[in-house]
Amino acid sequence: MFLKVQLSWNVIIPAENMNVKGLLLQRAIIVRLMEEFAVKKATKELGYLLAVTTLDKVGEGRVRQQTGDVLFPVTFTCLTFKIFRGEVIEGVVHKILKHGVFLKCGPIENIFLSPQKMPGYDYVPGENPVFVSEKQSKIEKDVMVRFSVIGTKWIESEREFQAVVTLERDFLGPV
């Protein structure tokens, strides 16, 4: 699910980037905010940080005594992406193994679909392994699959989410 949130961060501008012209200062604040935004990647509460949409407010800068750098409080609006238990979404198959299927959905690359959660599908090994149903529906690499989220897990060290999903509801499976 996409979320629109407003955040407040502190942006530090090194003293050597300070300039009398306000336009260059505003540019330096935006560039620094974007760099920090990209590094943060995701948070447990908000999900994946996708894009800054607006810079709402830049507060008055405060000079840091030890370094001479200037700290600016900024408020901005951004888009995030987070999946929730029970949500029905679509993902693309990127790996098929005997013990299950791995899918990607937006920035989430570790979505696992177990054979036990694919009723009616059987594993067919080979050079390009697939799961095939009695109705000849195939789950293979690069196929779009609609699924329901059973649970998610936040991995702090990787700053990313993992999810376990199922096809055990109506209208789920290859699209």
Global pTM reads 0.85
List pLDDT tens digits, range 29-77: 888 999 999 999 999 999 999 999 999 999 998 988 888 888 999 999 9
- Into how many domains does the chain fold? 2
Residues 170 and 102 in one domain: yes
* Mean pLDDT value of segment 107-119: 96
pLDDT > 70 fraction of the chain, expressed in percent and rounded: 96
Exposure class string for 31-47: b at 16+ Cβ within 10 A, else e:
ebbeeebeeeebeeeeb
> Of the residues 58, 81, 104, which one is the last residue of a structural domain?
81
User: What's the domain range around 61?
Assistant: 2-81
Scanning the structure block, which residue is given the tokens 């679509």? Answer: 90
Averaged pLDDT score across all residues of the chain: 92
List pLDDT tens digits, range 130-168: 999 988 899 999 999 999 999 999 999 999 999 999 999
As a whole number of angstroms, the distance between CA 87 and CA 149 comes to 6
What residues pair up with 29 in beta bridges, in sequence order? none
| CATH number of the structural domain spanning residue 39 | 3.30.1490.120
Measured CA distances, 67 to 3, 73, 74 (Å): 37, 17, 20
Residues 47 and 111 in one domain: no
